[in-house]
Amino acid sequence: MNNVQNRRKGPFLGIIKRMGPLHDFQTDDPRLQPICDKVLAGERLNVDDALTLYRSGDILAVGWMANAVRERMHGDKTYFNVNRHINPTNVCVAACRLCAFGRKKDAPGAYTMALEEAFETAASGYSEAVTEFHIVGGLHPDLPFQYFLDLCSGLKQRFPQVHLKAFTMVEVAYLSRRAKLSIRETLEQLKASGVDSLPGGGAEIFADRVRHIICDHKIDGDQWLETAKLAHQIGLKSNATMLYGHVENDEDRVDHLLKLRALQDETGGFQTFIPLAFHPDNTPLQHLPKTTGMLDIKQIGVSRLVLDNFPHIKSYWQMMTAKIAQISLRFGADDMDGTVIEEKIYHDAGATTPQGMRREELERLIRAAGRVPIERDTLYRPVTRTDRGVSAAGSFSFSVALRSPSAGVRHRVPQKQIDPRLVTAPVPLQPIEDVSVQSNRNGFLWRAVELANLRPAPVQDEGDIRKINVLVFHGGDGGDVSSLLLV
């Protein structure tokens, strides 16, 4: 047993950091050996294989196989992002039994954000450079489609560098009905207003029998899949989820995974699969027990093995707890979602995890699992940050005022609009003297000013103020602010 001896020799972390399996495949469940042969040969698993994986008690063997696939695809890389959730409304016409978030319009606790409020929410608590807004909400009976278009275009205008991952297939289908547009037209208008991709929610479990019990008022599984297909066809990537741990059985889960795999074969538009553990508290299904750590880990492993055409499997720490999510990084998961900031849906359903996590803490958890943390944007492009907080691939948007438009413009204004993502070489910083802070309501501007080595001065003469937007970003890995771009 060389591996066992090896394990005893070295420091623990040194051992788990080693790439590749720590030992050969071992199982006391003989049904798993032929599945392992297929996995190692890169062959696709079938329905029976998937059912066997769910039914096997040998979680370590399932994990070994899932980890082998995960390492074949991503090595030690483990992705996370810096994101913020925005839930514009919890008013919802669907009374899904699975949900503790939705409220009827006049019920206590119902809220709907005015657009300005949503923009302020987007900006609040923004202590790190967010690269993604994750926007989902209830199916509001009165909000017009235009509200959602204005929400997205307004966010894009204020935060042009932030990716909008917005609206589940269920919301898209509902908006299309309200706007009397086809699903394709609805998606096209959302895309034109700034939506960059779609989150994976609302998929729940596709099987009708289960859907009738947990989310009777939602679109059915086929409509969810059709909406995803249309989104992919017009060039919007999406994620996919599966809600497990309620009244579904193994067959329902396998059916769900195989339907997703079939659509992915067709479109290639899914980026990430996210198994979501059901949280029963405060829902009409609160008599159901919570999922166990064993099921959560098993679910990650089976997902990785069955969804061979999905690039990523996300272990959503908010839902799994940070500890289980961390362990799942050795059972098939390669992504932990992000800093999140202000999760509501699970917390209404009794989640005890914090509503957000700092980037450093996520990185620490990933490293402690022997993996390499990679900050990504929503499309899985690596984000580079300097120790002063801003990266070439992500930047901030600020609102500042020039004390005097005529005297104040000492900035070098690039001739053409630069997409910060494209900036790889540092641009010399020009002295900027006459910028003063017009509003630091959201806390960004002070940071920008600090980063740019500017001295914020109080606004002297309101009449002389001209509002501008600036993007501040670093070029390359330099560490110094390389440009202040007026837009």
Whose Cβ is closer to ligand V47: residue 102's or residue 408's? 102
Pairing of strands 335-338, 372-375: unpaired
Strands of 249-359, DSSP E = 270-277, 312-313, 335-338
Pairing of strands 396-402, 435-436: antiparallel
Distance CA 322, CA 80 (A): 13
Whose Cβ is closer to ligand V47: residue 16's or residue 213's? 213
- What is the nearest approach in angstroms of ligand V47 to the Cβ of residue 341? 13
Whose Cβ is closer to ligand V47: residue 9's or residue 287's? 287
- What is the nearest approach in angstroms of ligand V47 to the Cβ of residue 67? 22
Amino acid at 474: H
- What is the nearest approach in angstroms of ligand V47 to the Cβ of residue 366? 17
- What is the nearest approach in angstroms of ligand V47 to the Cβ of residue 117? 21
The burial class, CB within 10 Å (0-12 / 13-18 / 19+), for 287 is exposed
Distance CA 103, CA 138 (A): 8
- What is the nearest approach in angstroms of ligand V47 to the Cβ of residue 46? 26
Whose Cβ is closer to ligand V47: residue 312's or residue 403's? 312
- What is the nearest approach in angstroms of ligand V47 to the Cβ of residue 369? 20
Whose Cβ is closer to ligand V47: residue 39's or residue 92's? 92
Whose Cβ is closer to ligand V47: residue 241's or residue 326's? 241
Structural tokens at position 247: 């009244």
Residues 6+ apart with CB under 8 A from 474: 386, 388, 390, 391, 392, 426, 480, 481, 482
Structural tokens at position 434: 């006459």
Whose Cβ is closer to ligand V47: residue 276's or residue 432's? 276
Strand partners, 237: 197
The burial class, CB within 10 Å (0-12 / 13-18 / 19+), for 449 is buried
Structural tokens at position 189: 């208008």
Structural tokens at position 11: 């420091």
Whose Cβ is closer to ligand V47: residue 366's or residue 402's? 366
Contact 66, 314 (CB under 8 A): no
Which ranges of 215-288 does DSSP label H, i.e. alpha helix? 221-233, 250-267
Whose Cβ is closer to ligand V47: residue 163's or residue 447's? 163
Whose Cβ is closer to ligand V47: residue 88's or residue 202's? 202
* Residue in the shown chain whose Cβ atom is closest to ligand V47: 201
Distance CA 336, CA 338 (A): 6
Whose Cβ is closer to ligand V47: residue 145's or residue 278's? 278
- What is the nearest approach in angstroms of ligand V47 to the Cβ of residue 72? 23
- What is the nearest approach in angstroms of ligand V47 to the Cβ of residue 7? 35
Listed residue (256, 259, 276, 278) closest to 267, CA to CA: 259
Residues 6+ apart with CB under 8 A from 296: 275, 277, 320, 324, 328
Distance CA 98, CA 171 (A): 16
- What is the nearest approach in angstroms of ligand V47 to the Cβ of residue 261? 17
- What is the nearest approach in angstroms of ligand V47 to the Cβ of residue 238? 8
Which ranges of 337-429 does DSSP label H, i.e. alpha helix? 345-348, 359-368, 405-408
- What is the nearest approach in angstroms of ligand V47 to the Cβ of residue 168? 6
From the centroid of its chain, how far is CA 404?
Answer: 42
> Residues in the site for ligand V47, rule: CB under 6 A?
98-100, 136, 168, 199-202, 204, 239, 241, 243, 274, 276, 278-279, 283, 316, 337, 345-346, 349
